[in-house]
Each structure stands twice: as structure tokens, then as C-alpha cells.
Amino acid sequence: MSIEHDPTGPASSSVERYCPSCERSYVDRDRCPTDGTQLVSLTTAEDALIGRDVDGRFTIEARLGAGGMGTVYRAVQHSVGRPVAIKIVNPRLVSDPLVIKRFLREAKLTSRLSHPHAVAVLDFGQTRDGLFYLVMELLEGRTLRQVLEADGRFGLERLSRVGGQICEALEGAHRLAIVHRDLKPSNIMILDGPAGGDLVKVLDFGLAKSLSTDTTSISTVTSSGALLGTPAYMPPEAALGLEVDARADLYSLGVILYQLASGRMPFTATTVHELVAKHAHESPPSLTGVPVALVTLVDRLLAKDPAARPESAAAVQAALAEVARDARAERGAASGPDAFSDTLSSAGRAPRPAPAPRRRGAWIVGAAIAVGLVVAAWIVAAQRETPSSVAPAPALSTPPPPPAVDPAPAPPPAPAAAVVPAVDAGAPPPPRRPASRRPARSKTPPAAATSPDAGAYPW
């Protein structure tokens, strides 16, 4: 059943025209604007249920929408004064035992399902005059169909987020052996989440069937001529009248993801029978403009053979999350390090200063070169200095001048008597030092020092 506020829906005094394919109502139209199906004219009258008291606990206030099994109303629960939604079986079907059994089965199963992404069933029963009802939480929001019509195709992030929440609701139902059997955008509500994002609630497990307790065959349930499920989202096994399981919901989910990713349906037709035949025998065109991983996932979901589909809704959720992660990683790699730095700065975090190893390394290299030059100069000067050509420097009151290199060739050595300095008779002879050390100074200048640099040292 669709709980959808359609701005093009019927007014209280207008003739309602109903589309059996998408289960939406229109006014002043002959064909459905979405799939082209011929609309069925429904004669409407003033709804006698408006203002009615239900079992002394609820009061019906307004009509919200209609579906294949009945009508949904806004009501108020007397005990706590909260608004609720009440679904009442169409009175024209109340004489059909099969419809009543299906309704009671729905009430029992959905009351067992408690999940944050599934609508909560609060109560169910039968009025004194024979009307069966189901009380649910009232949701304020838009259906996924309305969101898709208003916003167009979804981006990868939003598709993964919305699809993942649908998978969570299906996984919770499948663990209780509940199959939705009529999953479609008009049965999915999009609410405003706590952080402003999309909060998904899957509605209307009205066609759900227990795998563990239901022994009624598919052919018996549909013997009245009712087609269980919406043809545009119907899995091939259901279209062929075969037994269905949780993988049927995964096929419907694949149709929804195809629609969200492309903005179009995988199959279109002018009649319901043609549409059902395409789902049963044809393959849809492959998605374009989306990651290959998403194309592969949707193709698996739309496989004709249920065994070729993913094993569970949880597996589909994990695959969608991986598609979103890969897309984020690809965007991050394409943006480069500059974009990453901009992201950090925009978040109020100052960028980390870059280290300067090159300046420290240049300082060390420069110091090493300077030391090398000094050592080289010292070695050259030491090689040029001999005991016969170097005389002790005169005593100075100030430190010796910086070393100088004599570019002129050294004079020929003088006779030994000419280079021996005069010393005091009582003074001990100066100790002999190696050529690489500084000779001891003498108080008497050399006798035959003719060069102005004769008393200079390499250092």
C-alpha cells in the first residue's frame, strides 16, 4: 500500500482515476503519466469513515491515501493523544476470506518487526461492524518516489546512504522470515534525519508472507485475480507464479537502485502484461556514467535466476558502502595534496610547517668544505716548511699574524753557521720538534733572514 501525499491526487469531490501498475491516483487523466497505463475510474463519494471512532480508542481525522488492499487514514490515539496512521481493508473486500487472512497475516508479521528503518505496527483488530484495521506510526515526510521526481537521479553518496538503510530494513525482516513482496519507491518514506540527512522508513509489509508458518500456495492466494506486487518492480519468479523468497526483495531493490542511479526505469511498456514479460525474459540496458562496481552490483540484483543474486541484503549494503568508499578515495587522489591542504585549512587547522633538511645539510657541507680547505692549506705549508729554511719567529707581544703563503720560490739555503741563532750561554738548547709542529721562539731574530715572510707560519 502506498501512503503518498500526491499533489495531483484526487480531491474529495472529484472522480478518482487509479493506476493498477504504479498504484497512484490521479484526477482528470485517462492514462498514467508515469508508465502510460490506462487508468481505472473510481466513483468517489464522501468518506463515511472520516470522524468515526474506532473501538473507542482511535478517531479518524483525514484520508491519507489508498492502495490495493485498503485505505490509510490519519487518526488520533485517545490514550496518549498522539497521531497515528490507520489502514482499513476496503469494505468491498471484507467478504473475501482470502483478503482477510492476508490482512491478518500482515498484522501479525509486521507487529513482530521492530527496526529503526521499518514502520512500527502499534495495533491491529476488527471493529464491531466487521472492519479490519492496522494501526501504524504516522510518518511526516515524502516518499522516495516524490523525492526522485523532485530531485532527479541520486549521486553515489546519497544512493549508497539511502540504499544502505533500505537494506537494513530488509535484513531485519528477512531474519524474521518476512518477505516484503511489494518493495517500491512509494513504499519507502524519506524523513529528515537528526543531522539533516535522509532517514529511511520502509512501509507496508502488506504483501509480506511468512516463510515458516504460511502453507498457502501462491496460486491459492492469487486465485481471486489479484496480482501481488507492483509490475514495475516485480521479480521474474513472481511474474511467472513461482515460489519467492527473500531474494525477490533484492530484485525489487535492484530496480530501485537502477532508477536512483539513472533517473529511469530498467523496463518500460505500454501494458502491464508487456511489462511483466520484460521482467521475466529480458535484460535491462546497462547503467552508464557510474562506477563499474555499481553496474556489477545492480546487474547481479536484476539477475533472472535468484541464485545468481547476492546472498543477502546485508551483502548488498556492504557492497554499496564499498562503492561509496572507492568513490571518495578516487576523488581524494584526483584532488592532489594541495586540495588536501586546503581542506585542512578550511577546517580551522593550521598547515604543518615543512621541514628544512636542505638548509641543515647545506650548513654541514659548507663546514666540511671549510675544514677541508684549512687542512689542505696546512698540509701544503707543512710540506714546504723544512728545519733549514724556517727560522724561529721573533718574540712578539701580540699574536702572530694570519698565515700567508709566499708565492716566491724559497731562497737557497744559507750556510749552517748563518742560520744558527745566537742564544744565551746559560740557556738550554731548544727542544727539537717535528716539522709539523710550531718551532720554539727565540729572543734573537735570525741572522740571515732576508725575506719579509721568513718568520711567517702556515697558521
Question: Catalytic site residues?
Answer: 182
State how far the alpha carbon of 351 is from the alpha carbons of 207, 267, 334, in Å: 57, 52, 20
What distance, in Å, lies between the first and last C-alpha atoms of the chain?
A: 103
8 Å CB contact between 27 and 10: yes
The C-alpha atoms of residue 266 and residue 251 are separated, in whole angstroms, by: 12
CA atoms within 13 A on the CB side of 344: 9
- The full 3-state SS of 307-376, as one line of letters, equals HHCCCCHHHHHHHHHHHHHHHHHHHHHHHHHHHHHHHHHHCCCCCCCCCCHHHHHHHHHHHHHHHHHHHH
Spatial CB neighbours of 250, under 8 Å, sequence gap ≥ 6: 170, 301, 309, 310, 313, 316
Burial 73-112 (b: 16+ CB within 10 A, else e): bbbbbeeeeeebbbbbbbeebbeeeebbebbbbbbebbee
- The full 3-state SS of 367-419, as one line of letters, equals HHHHHHHHHHHHHHHHHHCCCCCCCCCECCCCCCCCCCCCCCCCCCCCCHHHH
DSSP assignments along 125-192, one per residue: EE-TTS-EEEEEE---SEEHHHHHHHH-SPPHHHHHHHHHHHHHHHHHHHHTTEE-S---GGGEEEEE
Question: Residue 417 region, left (φ>0) first, then alpha (ψ -120 to 50), else beta?
Answer: alpha
The C-alpha atoms of residue 310 and residue 325 are separated, in whole angstroms, by: 20
Size of the chain, expressed as the number of residues it contains: 459
8 Å CB contact between 223 and 233: no
